[in-house]
Chains A and B, each alone.
Chain A
Amino acid sequence: MRLSRRFVQLDVFADRPGAGNPLAVVIDAEDIDPESMQTFANWTNLSETTFLLPPTSPEASYRVRIFTPQQELPFAGHPSVGSAHAAIDAGLAVPRDGHLVQECAAGLLPVRVDGEGAARRIFVRAPRGREVAVPVESRVWKDVLDGLRLGALPAVVIDNGPRWWLVELADEQTVRAMQPELEAIARLTEATGTVGLAVFAHTAHPDYQLVVRAYCPADGIPEDPVTGSANAAIADWLEQNNALRSRHYTASQGREIGRDGRVRVEVDDSGAVWIGGQTQTVVQGTLDW
């Protein structure tokens, strides 16, 4: 039996359509079984597809299940920001004092809603990132950073759910001009059990303070357009090194692959990292599956 359900395809971390990271959201997903969710998430071919459900906990505003084309995830940044956007617009969740509680496989997570209408920004609190000691032979690093001018901080692995290699580069120009050695990066991330490599640099640009790029070639994603977890991990790493130039800043990511994402990053008084941004509803319609 085919039922019509509400469906949106969003652009997350985007101040205009096409600038950010797409997300498919199935709004009325109550009676879809998990196998069908996985099949549909494989079919959309987007990095994530989410399904909105009534909450099972009285504290939660809505419940979401998050799928990549291959598997279900307990939590991820851009799907959480986008799902909250869709839940509010569909009338499934109403912020109280600018807050929602998202129920997902990782538990109950706080969501903050700033502003209204097109300028509305939604923030999720990222799991706390911790440094992981990963022994790595120098030959595995061979070619990864060839010819790149490095920044002040050493390379590190941060675990905030996924594990990211982070490398600070000297300046914005070095980040933007980087020609990633994808095979070398794939060897590095496979040898060290990490999801990808993210590079970043501080910048004096008036619209953003950090520039970021993230590569996950071993997962079939040469470069990710806008990455919530990598941006959260970078903020944790800067905070741990007293290298944050501001506790509230904007990161620019995705321009080198034809996008132009903006991630708003806030480190609160407890040291927790919140990531957020604007979301554009690009496709609005119904799904028959």
Chain B
Amino acid sequence: MGNPLAVVFDAEDLDDTQMQAIANWTNLAETTFVLPPSTREAHYRVRIFTTQREIAFAGHPSIGTAHAALAAGRVTPTAGALVQECQAGLLPVQVEEREGSTTLSVRVPRSRIVRYAGAEDELVRRCLVGRELGTIAPVLVEGGRRWWLAELADASEVRGMQPDIDAIRELAAQSHSLGLCVFARSAGPGHDLVVRAFPLGVGIIEDPASGAANAAIAAFLDEAGALAGLGDAYVVSQGREMARDAQLQLRIDADRHVWVGGQCQTVIRGQLHW
């Protein structure tokens, strides 16, 4: 019901070319490779590849890799936390056991507002034609990668949106961003915010569950002083429009760091012969 991820253990003897070839072959948004850490503070090291290139950090691959390392008994949390070493540095992963299920959260490098959409942003308007907007103007944010974020009036505006693929692709190219995320507050049940993400900048029409994009929304709401009604911890529903049903937990800690988390299911378990 969520966002699939392929994780390869024992990746020490794979070179960069082989990792990229495997990630291209799985055809998933991301494939990760687990390696021994190169620093004593880290529990494991991970390299993250899309079908096209290696990336420094991404949310769902970090959570999924931590889940796989725990499920395989390869790591043991220290005081309820793991430290993941990746290209973006050392990132803490929190491990919470509640009612027999495990929720993993990763602290995401914080994104910042680049600028709000202005009169010159004709393309942003084109991407949102026919949608009733929320109270905050669409905004471009950056945290490693860029996203356009747009608040819509309510959950049905988000769920009913037919994305204009060509316009979003053009917007992504023009602004060197991944694309557009839309969101709206929602009365649930079971969630506080409804999100959809259209990363046409990397050739994906819609993403079923976006860790980094949701973290960018949380950081933006915090920076804009717009967390009223959500508080410092809230639950997101994403993916229903593409027949998934993901839940993501967002949290902003006392130091204003953003954490994104959720549960993982091991679907396929076996050996890779490459």
Partners in one complex: yes
* Residues of A19-76 whose CB lies within 8 A of B: 22, 39, 42-46
Please name the residue on chain B nearest to A258 by beta carbon: B24
Q: How far is the CA of A18 from the CA of B25 in the complex (A)?
A: 6
Residues of chain A within 8 A (CB-CB) of B266 are 288
Residues of chain A within 8 A (CB-CB) of B272 are 282-283
CB within 8 A of B271: which of A280, A283, A288? A283
CB within 8 A of A45: which of B28, B268, B271? B28
Known: A282-B273, A282-B274. A42 touches B243 (CB 8 A): yes
| A281 and B27 contact, CB distance less than 8 A | no
Q: How far is the CA of A282 from the CA of B268 in the complex (A)?
A: 13
A7 within 8 A of B: yes
| A201 CB to nearest B CB, Å | 25
Q: How far is the CA of A7 from the CA of B26 in the complex (A)?
A: 15
| B267 and A46 contact, CB distance less than 8 A | no
CB within 8 A of A283: which of B4, B28, B268? B268
How many residues does chain A have at the interface if contact means C-beta atoms less than 8 Å apart?
A: 24
| A18 and B274 contact, CB distance less than 8 A | yes
Residues of chain A within 8 A (CB-CB) of B98 are none
A286 within 8 A of B: yes
Known: A39-B243, A42-B243, A43-B4. A285 touches B270 (CB 8 A): yes
| A280 CB to nearest B CB, Å | 7
Please name the residue on chain B nearest to A281 by beta carbon: B273
| B266 CB to nearest A CB, Å | 7
Q: How far is the CA of A284 from the CA of B26 in the complex (A)?
A: 14
| A285 and B27 contact, CB distance less than 8 A | no
| B273 and A22 contact, CB distance less than 8 A | no
Interface mask (A262-289 → B, CB under 8 Å = 1, otherwise 0): 0000000000000000001111111111
A17 within 8 A of B: yes
| B27 and A46 contact, CB distance less than 8 A | yes
Interface bracket on B: 20 to 34
Interface mask (B179-205 → A, CB under 8 Å = 1, otherwise 0): 000000000000000000000000001
Q: Is the interface of A mostly helix, strand, loop or mixed?
A: strand
Q: How far is the CA of A87 from the CA of B28 in the complex (A)?
A: 25
Residues of chain A within 8 A (CB-CB) of B205 are 220
Please name the residue on chain B nearest to A280 by beta carbon: B273
| B273 and A287 contact, CB distance less than 8 A | no
| B27 and A286 contact, CB distance less than 8 A | no
| A45 and B270 contact, CB distance less than 8 A | no
Residues of chain A within 8 A (CB-CB) of B265 are 288
Known: A18-B21, A258-B21. A286 touches B28 (CB 8 A): no
* Residues of B235-274 whose CB lies within 8 A of A: 243, 265-274
Q: How far is the CA of A44 from the CA of B6 in the complex (A)?
A: 10
Residues of chain A within 8 A (CB-CB) of B274 are 17-18, 282
Residues of chain A within 8 A (CB-CB) of B26 are 22
B22 within 8 A of A: yes
| A124 CB to nearest B CB, Å | 22
Q: Which of A7, A44, A283 has the most CB of B within 10 A?
A: A283
A11 within 8 A of B: yes
Please name the residue on chain B nearest to A285 by beta carbon: B270
Residues of chain B within 8 A (CB-CB) of A283 are 268, 270-273
| A22 and B270 contact, CB distance less than 8 A | no
| B220 CB to nearest A CB, Å | 29
* Residues of B14-48 whose CB lies within 8 A of A: 21-22, 24-28
| B241 CB to nearest A CB, Å | 13
Residues of chain B within 8 A (CB-CB) of A289 are 267
| B4 and A7 contact, CB distance less than 8 A | no
| B4 CB to nearest A CB, Å | 6
| B268 and A285 contact, CB distance less than 8 A | yes
Interface mask (B204-244 → A, CB under 8 Å = 1, otherwise 0): 01000000000000000000000000000000000000010
| A286 and B269 contact, CB distance less than 8 A | yes
Q: Kindly list 14 other residue pairs between chains A and B, CB separation below 8 angstroms, not including A283-B268, A285-B269.
A: A7-B270, A11-B25, A17-B274, A22-B25, A22-B26, A39-B243, A43-B4, A44-B4, A45-B4, A45-B28, A220-B205, A282-B274, A284-B273, A285-B270
